[in-house]
Homo-oligomer: A and B are copies of this chain.
Amino acid sequence: MLVCPAMSSFAIGVDLGGTNLRIAAVQSDGTLLEKVTTGTQVSKGRDFVIGEMCDAIKGLSAKFSSKMELEGVGIGMPGIIDKRTGMLRESPNLPGWDEYPVRDDIQKRLGAPVILENDANVAAFGEGWLGAAKGYNEICMITLGTGVGGGIVLAGKIWQGMNGMAGEVGHITVEPDGHLCGCGNRGCVEQYASATAVMRMAREEIETGTAPGLAKLADGPNIEFSARAVFNLALQGDPSAKRVYDRMGRALGILLADLVNIMNLRMYVIGGGVSNGWQAFAPKMFEELKKRSMVYAATAPPDDDYSFGASAKVESKQLPPYRTIVTRALLGSDAGLYGAARLPLAHK
């Protein structure tokens, strides 16, 4: 029997979130073999969740390891991970996991090498492998979800910083006297560009008494009052909903200008559920970015066709060499899953 060498190995990627637990077997060339999704039953405790996860990993592993070699298991999880010890240092979404030797426990149960990584970092790694930043070795990813996270890839590797805390872009100051953040700072970008922030800013608009559209949305019995609903209202031209997304765009523009001025990378990717509001926040975001970063102004793509993201540009061979690309993520919630699977494959 002929075996194609490129297809002879695979890895297991795990996206362990506070709500969902997703596990995939991915070939070394990026082909998805199988994906399993379940809920993370955090309330049943750490041992239960690790047990469920390991059972699913073993199941997938057994299914494919007769045909190809398992390179290892990569796990993306929220929080700060100490890479030396394989312990979670802080993870508000996984109570009771702090200071527990997560990696050692999972390795023992699986009998296979395990790499832990922060979830925002693996998302950046995934988009750089198979998504919007495919082929780029220097990437900064901004993840807009309940909060705002980030991951940085330099020279093709996740940039850990001194102790794995690099890429905390959600806590960059964009309004020095602005809204108080859970981190202790005022005016973090997370306070203007997360799902939580959209809802707060919408409520602030309603409180002024000049936002009938949003007020109707909040009171409507049949409509969910969500960031998506505010986005839909903004698209329909509602002034107060547009103000909310303009504030988000401004905050993201300041953040991006800071990132471009400091790091001067080729590729900035914006992902996470709230990035679906791109059409509503991108115009203001690019306006601010251009105004606030001379580095961006000197390297911006010549066309301004950003309304649907700049992903098409990524594929173009006609780009001048020095262009700063800001674009939407392509892999959605699979970015973290692919990025996690890539960890053992890239670690070889």
Contact = CB atoms under 8 A, between A and B. Distances in A.
Interface in A106-150: 138, 150
Contacts of A183: 294
A261 interface: yes
Contacts of A168: 261-262, 264, 294-295
A161 interface: yes
A205 to B, nearest CB: 20
Q: Interface size for chain A: under 10, 10 to 19, 20 to 34, or 35 or more residues?
A: 35 or more
A210 interface: no
A111 to B, nearest CB: 30
17 contacts: A154-B154, A161-B265, A163-B299, A163-B321, A165-B264, A165-B299, A166-B262, A168-B264, A171-B294, A173-B292, A176-B250, A183-B294, A184-B294, A184-B297, A185-B257, A258-B258, A262-B263
Given A185-B257, A294-B171, A162 B262 contact: no
A276 interface: no
Contact of A174 (B176, B186, B298): B176
A175 interface: yes
Interface string A172-205: 1111100000011110000000000000000000
Contact of A171 (B162, B265, B293, B298): B293
Given A162-B322, A257-B173, A167 B291 contact: no
Given A150-B262, A162-B324, A183-B294, 12 more contacts: A162-B266, A162-B299, A163-B264, A163-B322, A165-B298, A168-B295, A169-B261, A171-B261, A171-B293, A176-B176, A184-B294, A186-B292
A110 to B, nearest CB: 29
Contacts of A264: 160-168
Nearest to A251: B176
Given A161-B265, A163-B264, A262-B262, A292 B257 contact: no
A254 interface: yes
A172 B261 contact: yes
B259 A262 contact: yes
Interface string A250-277: 1000100111011111100000000000
A162 B171 CA distance: 24
A313 to B, nearest CB: 15
Which interface residue of A163, A174, A250 has the most chain B CB atoms within 10 A? A163
Contact of A262 (B160, B167, B294, B298): B167
Contacts of A169: 261-262
